[in-house]
Amino acid sequence: MAGRITRADVVHVATLARLELTEEELDRYVDQLGAVLEHAADVAALDTSGVPPTAHPLPMENVLREDVARPSLDRDEVLREAPDTDGTRFRVPRILGEEP
Amino acid sequence: MSEAVLALAQAVRHGDRSARELTEERLAAIATAEPEVHAFNLVTADAARAEADEVDRRVAAGEDVGPLAGLPVALKDNICTRGVPTTCSSRILDGWRPPYDATVVTRLRSAGAVIVGKTNLDEFAMGSSTENSAFGPTRNPHDPSRVPGGSSGGSAAAVAAGFVPMALGSDTGGSIRQPAALCGVVGVKPTYGVVSRYGLVAFASSLDQIGPLTGSVADAAALLEVVAGHDPEDSTSLAEPAPTVTSVLGDGVDGMRVGVVAELIDGVAPDVAARVRQAADALSSAGARVDEASVPAAVHGLSAYYLIAPAEASSNLARYDGVRYGLRVEAPDITAMYTATRSAGFGSEVKRRIMLGTYALSAGYYDAYYGQAQRVRTLIIRSFDAAYARFDALLAPTTPTTAFALGAKTADPLAMYLTDVCTVPSSLAGHPAMSVPFGSGDDGMPVGVQVLAPARGEAVMFRVGAALEALAPGPTGVDAVRSRREAVR
């Protein structure tokens, strides 16, 4: 059973989730996430040895289809909704440390 | 009410009523009361008129336009509509126009329905009161000082207020059933995989299901048969046709074994528990063999749900990164752009769930929280299986209390999460469940009784639901709103 969530944990998790939190948000989330995880202590403490996990509620096999080309989404219609494009592709800010 | 709604579709089919006329009636109702209720993020009045005219043109041309001919329908605003904004009540998708229709939208149109707009929800369907919306809360039509429930609060309120006879919502841990109960309408969460999720914006993919919110059980059955059935676009869609439910509604409950779930009635408000007991007695008098049922692992449902659903959400919501659609906040490099966009675009409850889910999945905590919750999910399924060896269907409250006041739980997330305690167990099991209005609480607000059934048990669930509706005390749906509002005046 894990210990109570700390402020350092919340800062770390925010970085993983690509969220920037204010000091006030950090304080609030330490308390609120702590309360939810405390409530979940009953689950964390249960003896479940030998119980397999359920990731999906109903048994399902892989779903396959014939490898036949079908129409896809219209490129212009998709790009029209993007924040920035070069007309044929999504455009993003630089991804490595190089000069633009 | 039910026969009235489906009879309207029949009248349109036969050319006795026009779809345009039905649509104008509902648009007028919306224009009158929507400023108070705020059920909609968007009313697509002009498109609805055009769709209605098209239905009328096809009827005039002798075509069969389908079982929902001319019926106005509202869609929860996390269901994609091609070219029409789909926001999930989030700033991060404000203004986004999907390049495709959800499968349920295509099926509604093929059945002759007329889509009148997109309803408000808790952001990305995360919440139980429709207060976590970037566009402001929806109010309960029975009493505007109270919440409509959530996250499909806009759809529930739109039906209760008489804006539309039927609406679609989505249910991950109770988001159809809980607002249906608090607004006094019927809400159905089908078996996982019965309704295609193609075009439903994902929250927790192993739990999400689209389903009906309507004024009656018969309307819900008709709507479910239209939208359900296998869809090759959704790999988790069951490879079978839509369940047959409209033809079983009159079959009654004589000889049926119905269990009242002890663990789910324990701890709910006395007035709600009393209505569930009364519903059980009514079913017994109608010939059902009613007894107390036990689903011991259900008590762990809430804890398991609030680890599994946020974990799946934290993964699903990684796609909102400012690259392909929605909001982008400019920054010098891509990581800073991701962070700035997500921090500005998501509301506080969505951030909270992403944080909770990321934590539950992170190194060192994965097995203690997420892994353990998945094993508890197995225990819950086994617990239900044991109960369904003795019973054909189960009865429980839908919610611990009637509708609460706006703002009452917004400062305490755990208190808000606890309102889902009666609905999450069947969600984790993937089972169908529905809420049927059954009288009111001490405060005069609607109470919902929940009918649970095993996987693919829609037929038995609808039989019990129809029997409960026939036995329910007092008016329901739009009629109940009208009588309450008149009493308050």
At B325-364, the pLDDT tens digits run 999 999 999 999 999 999 999 999 999 999 999 999 998 8
- Of B338, B354, B372, nearest to A44 by CB-CB distance is B372
- Across the interface, do B100 and A63 touch by the CB < 8 Å criterion? no
Residue A58 near chain B (CB below 8 Å): yes
- Across the interface, do B325 and A21 touch by the CB < 8 Å criterion? no
> Given B133, B170, B175, B435, which residue is catalytic?
B175
Q: What is the pLDDT of residue A1?
A: 42
Residue A7: closest CA among A37, A27, A32, A33: A27
Structure tokens at B177: 């059933």
- Across the interface, do A83 and B323 touch by the CB < 8 Å criterion? yes
Which residue of chain B is at minimal alpha-carbon distance from A54?
B374
- Across the interface, do B323 and A82 touch by the CB < 8 Å criterion? yes
Residue B130 near residue B138, CB atoms below 8 Å: yes
Task: Give chain B positions within 8 Å (CB) of A43.
Answer: 300, 303-304, 307, 369, 372-373, 376
Which residue of chain B is at minimal alpha-carbon distance from A9?
B359
Q: What is the pLDDT of residue B20?
A: 98
pTM of the model: 0.96
B28: Cβ contacts below 8 Å, ≥ 6 apart: none
Number of Cβ pairs < 8 A linking chain A and chain B: 176
Over residues A74-80, the mean pLDDT reads 95
Q: What is the pLDDT of residue A12?
A: 96
Residue A64 near chain B (CB below 8 Å): no
User: Is B89 labeled as catalytic in the residue annotation?
Assistant: no
Residue B171 near residue B151, CB atoms below 8 Å: no
| Cis amide bond preceding B129, omega within 30 | no
CA atoms of B418 and B325, how far apart (whole Å) = 34
- Smallest CA–CA distance, residue B411 to chain A, in Å, is 10
Residue B440: closest CA among B281, B235, B222, B279: B279
List of chain B residues with pLDDT < 50: 1-2
Residue A24 near chain B (CB below 8 Å): no
Q: Which amino acid is at B285?
A: S
Over residues A38-62, the mean pLDDT reads 89
- Across the interface, do B377 and A74 touch by the CB < 8 Å criterion? no
Q: How far is CA A23 from CA A13, A30, A34, B79, B314, in A?
A: 14, 11, 17, 35, 22
Residue from A20, A36, A60 whose CB has the most chain B CBs within 10 Å, to mutate: A36
- Smallest CA–CA distance, residue B89 to chain A, in Å, is 17
- Of B328, B348, B352, nearest to A83 by CB-CB distance is B328
Task: Give chain B positions within 8 Å (CB) of A20.
Answer: 339-340, 343
- Of B340, B352, B377, nearest to A54 by CB-CB distance is B377
- Smallest CA–CA distance, residue B457 to chain A, in Å, is 13
Q: Report the SS3 class of residue B41.
A: strand
User: Is B151 labeled as catalytic in the residue annotation?
Assistant: yes
Residue B378, by phi and psi: left (phi above 0), alpha (psi -120 to 50) or beta?
Answer: alpha
Residue A83 near chain B (CB below 8 Å): yes
Q: What is the pLDDT of residue B318?
A: 98
Structure tokens at B88: 């999930």
CA atoms of B1 and B456, how far apart (whole Å) = 27
CA atoms of B284 and B255, how far apart (whole Å) = 9
CA atoms of B338 and A94, how far apart (whole Å) = 12
Q: What is the pLDDT of residue A60?
A: 77
DSSP codes of every residue in B438-467: EEE-TTS-EEEEEEE--TT-HHHHHHHHHH
User: Is B2 labeled as catalytic in the residue annotation?
Assistant: no
- Across the interface, do A81 and B96 touch by the CB < 8 Å criterion? yes
> Given B18, B129, B151, B314, which residue is catalytic?
B151
Q: What is the pLDDT of residue B1?
A: 40
